[in-house]
Amino acid sequence: MAAAAVAAAGSSNVEFIRARSDKREYRRVVLANALEILLISDPDTDKAAACMEVEVGSFSDPEGLEGLAHFLEHMLFYASEKYPGEHEYTKYIIEHGGSYNAYTSSETTNFFFDVNVDNFEEALDRFAQFFIKPLMSQDAVLREIKAVDSENTRKICCLMAGGCISFNFILFSSQLQKHFASKDHPYHKFSTGSWETLETKPKARGLDIRLELLKFYKNYSANVMHLVVYGKENLDCIQGLVERMFSDIKNTDQRSLKCPSHPLSEEHLQLLVKALPIVEGDYLRIIWPITPSIQFYKEAPCHYLSHLIGHEGEGSIFHIIKELGWAMNLMAGECSDSNEYSFFSVSMRLTDAGHERMEDIVGLIFKYLHLLKEDGVHEWIFNELAAINEMEFHYQDKVRPINYVMRTVSTMRLFPPEEWLVGAALPSKYASQRINMILNQLIPETVRIFWESKKFEGSTSSAEPWYNTPFSVENVTPSVIQEWIEKAPTEKLHLPKPNIFIPKDLSLKEVHEKVTFPTVLRKSPLSQLWYKPDMLFSTPKVHIIIDFHCPLSSHSPEAVVATELFVDLLVDYLNAYAYDAQIAGLFYSIYVTSAGFQVSLGGYNDKMRVLLNAILVQIVKFEVKPNRFSALKETSVKDYQNFNFRQPYSQASYYVSLILGDKKWPVAEKLEALSKLESDYFAKFVPHLLSKTFLECYVQGNIEPSEAKSIVEEIENTIFTTPNSLFKSMSPSEYLIKRVIMLENDLKCYYQTEGLNQKNENSSVIQYIQVHQDDAILNIKLELFSLIAKQPAFNQLRTVEQLGYITSLSLRSDYGVLALQVVIQSTVKDPSYLDVRVDEFFKMFESKIYELSDKDFKRNVKSLIDSKLEKFKNLWEESHFYWGEIEAGTLKFDRVESEVAMLRELKKEEFIEYFNQYIKVDAPQRRTLSVQVFGGNHLVEFKKAINEANPPKMYRITDIFGFKRSRPLYSSLKGGPGRITMD
């Protein structure tokens, strides 16, 4: 009867709106328990994936149990009645080439994984048990509360790595916004959870948190779930799997949470909130409550407005405040965590000068909004955006299945089935009244301004309760806003011009001969060109990389920071012109490398040369603009200062790199050099930097060989032969190489230091085990060990011993020198103790290696082979792989094939011998570096540790540069410019 009922629920014929290039097959299925499923069949895939979205999120947290939904998300990973072994699901996924994760949002919780296709059925069955009969033991409950608490603690003072906006600012702009909202609305809640909300307070109220968890789990009903399943099999086969595995999920006829009203009342509007951040940096965010545009997704009013308000070309808000030296970036658009209400936000990073002109900036934004109202809505702008969106949709790159299922599941509860694959990506109805409706909601009467700066220290009067962010608040009335408008800059604001970068020719070039790997197409004393046509993806796109090898870029801290500032200024100067290119599907980046800088471009080939020429002209005609030099230097100084606020594990990683690299400079020295850098010295440095240059170029995609050659010829002519060009050629002897120090066999070197932010309670250790330089047979043995040990290390050090939320075992490569590294960050134990526990794990794991059965060995080898044979999903993945070989100097374009062949011949005895030689604790060729960063909780242990004598076979590093000078170096894998040899 049950099977018949499921079959009766069955599948339905849906004409999905899909990209023209999409060859996958789709089917909608609704099981008898009301679970709605999208099946995806892709015969070409080598990874299968699934994602379940449950319409239960943090808004459903019971009063006084903040973070319960997030806590439940964590708990479902532990075990189930069918698979009772702890972490059996995660262990299976990792061992079979997969990955997994989950997240909790306001209204939903999402779980997802991918795995090698041959193991999909068993992985999917384990995944299904999350929603059928999970086990939530008391012991696991207590352990995972600690993990949730560690996650929350980590958020408080970490920085977003590599970004210009601190993680603290993101918390500030969300949790602080929630603080100024109705207390009876779920938006006001604290959603992450902590030891206080999940253990201390519930216990004080006499609550059993496990019973509360089980009670809350009853909200997980099949009728509020959506599932996407992506497999290699045909649709009938996949449907059979999901019917068999997911039909036992109970349908208790739950109702999705509907927010009672908008979270803001009049008292929460017309506010100016000044907040004190942890890190350096001034940030401004202007927010208005608006009608959710999801209700009008065909008309896309917020898309139209965010395009104009967030534009960066001439006449835009950002262009004017940037030229005035007031801001470094600007983002605008809708931000919402619910379908019932929404916000429109304009946010930016300010300079010191911009901080002083906050009122003028807000006034200018309102001036621009007035311009939009006066000028009216323009149909040509809507049509231009719609055309770009349509092109982007139909020529979208294929992505990893796990990313695709995550993206697609989020559309299922919002759109009719035929629109699941497109969502809101194709606006098609021009409706000026909808745009004006949203525009008329961006008014002084409803504005909320959040302003963050260290300059508010000592002037705040309150603190946000969850993250303890200091703040003060005042009213800002429409009359005050009007005063700001009247004194705002008078520079001419205007709408953008039609976009010249929208491609017209999307035809595919004919490939005359099959090219398997990149080849050298052109070579000269000035440059070398590698080329590969697109043989796989049939897309009208190209990827171009120009590596400027400048040996004078990194010979001193002064040279490094000056090169970084040169690149920052290049990007800054190009921004207004090239912004349209990014809108039209062309991307570019310019970034510093270890030996110069690199220009990378990608996207539709039709207008690529227009963008490339603009970049080259800007480089050749570079000049120092004092106002922009000052603004970017100021921002860079603050970013260097914020290094002190990085998480201890990030600081530990920096020290590892500093110790290993022969041409690495300390952050403190770079900050000092940057602080002293003046524009006149900088103006002299740039010609010096570019006076010795060699270009390594790579062109791949929808482009013919003759065109690739002409591009590089044009680059050479522009760079080297333009009158008064700063560029000069470089002799082979001047080629700069980066090398890595070689640690000593059977010796553990260790470096101990205090964390740079003692307010951060966390400490961290990185145990780095240097193994060998790039070598195929040694590579595969190291990768195999990492695959086998990764999950057991996580389970032992994080789950069993509860040492810290951040715990990992992974591979590391420094200029081709491969290593294992174990990372732990902890508030509960000091780094010396953590390092001992890492050693104990390796000792314990010896028996696991020696007892490894032939069956398990072959299974792990097969898993690694499957992962290596995973196909490139798009042009960027393929070009990234080949360029990586070129950039490293290894040129092993057949790396995958050769390593797979060796794996198939690898014997278990050879693998064990490798472990005995290089990895186990007393291995004769084990070379270990332990970097230990002591945080605020462990200063007493630090003082004790640095006074202890060296144990046997251990060496304390007290002088990093003295230590480096005493060690031999690995050879470089890279040859000279263009691999030129001297006779």
- Does residue 908 share a domain with residue 828? yes
Final residue belonging to a domain, choices 734, 760, 778: 734
Tell me whether residue 144 is one of the annotated catalytic residues.
yes
Final residue belonging to a domain, choices 463, 486, 509: 486
The CATH number of residue 526's host domain is 3.30.830.10
In a domain, 313, yes or no: yes
- Does residue 477 share a domain with residue 562? no
Grouping H, G, I as helix, E, B as strand and the rest as coil, residue 158 is coil
| Length, in residues, of the chain | 983
**Conformational region of residue 701, where left means phi above 0, alpha means psi within -120 to 50, and beta covers everything else:** left
CA dist., res. 134 & res. 77, Å (int): 8
Grouping H, G, I as helix, E, B as strand and the rest as coil, residue 243 is helix
- Does residue 944 share a domain with residue 869? yes
Q: For position 838, what pLDDT does the model report?
A: 98
In a domain, 495, yes or no: no
Q: Do residues 563 and 597 lie in contact, with contact meaning Cβ atoms separated by under 8 Å?
A: yes
Nearest to 143 by CA among 83, 192, 210: 210
Q: For position 451, what pLDDT does the model report?
A: 97
- Does residue 814 share a domain with residue 692? no
- Does residue 909 share a domain with residue 858? yes
In a domain, 740, yes or no: no
Q: For position 743, what pLDDT does the model report?
A: 98
Q: What residues in the chain have per-residue pLDDT under 70?
A: 1-11, 154-173, 975-983
- Give the N- to C-terminal CA distance of the chain in Å, as an integer: 84
Q: Give the alpha-carbon dihedral of 405, 408, 412, 416, to 10 degrees.
A: -140
CA dist., res. 703 & res. 348, Å (int): 38
- Does residue 465 share a domain with residue 586? no
- Does residue 886 share a domain with residue 863? yes
- H or E element, residue 41: strand 36-41
3-state SS string for 915-983: HHHHHCCCCCCCEEEEEEEECHHHHHHHHHHCCCCCCCCEEECCCHHHHHHCCCECCCCCCCHHHCCCC
Determine the structural domain holding residue 610 and report its residue range: 519-734
Q: For position 976, what pLDDT does the model report?
A: 53
- Does residue 107 share a domain with residue 69? yes
Q: For position 630, what pLDDT does the model report?
A: 96
Per DSSP, the residues of 745-760 read TTEEEEEEEE-S-TT-
Final residue belonging to a domain, choices 734, 755, 783: 734
Q: How many other C-beta atoms are found inside a 10 Å radius of the C-beta of residue 839?
A: 15
CA contacts within 13 A on the Cβ side of 355: 17
**Helix-helix angle 679-690:557-583, to 10 degrees:** 80
CA contacts within 13 A on the Cβ side of 648: 35
Q: pLDDT tens, 157-203? A: 443 333 333 434 454 568 899 999 999 999 999 999 999 999 999 99
In a domain, 119, yes or no: yes
- Does residue 312 share a domain with residue 339? yes
For residue 320 the two structure tokens come to 């004017």
Choosing from 144, 212, 419, 558, the catalytic residue is 144
Angle at 440 between CA 439 and CA 446, to 5 degrees: 105
Q: For position 399, what pLDDT does the model report?
A: 96
CA contacts within 13 A on the Cβ side of 748: 23
- Does residue 693 share a domain with residue 629? yes
In a domain, 960, yes or no: yes
In a domain, 884, yes or no: yes
- Does residue 424 share a domain with residue 390? yes
DSSP state letter for 455:
G
Domain count, the chain: 4
Tell me whether residue 73 is one of the annotated catalytic residues.
yes
- Does residue 816 share a domain with residue 944? yes
Choosing from 53, 55, 66, 73, the catalytic residue is 73
In a domain, 643, yes or no: yes
In a domain, 501, yes or no: no
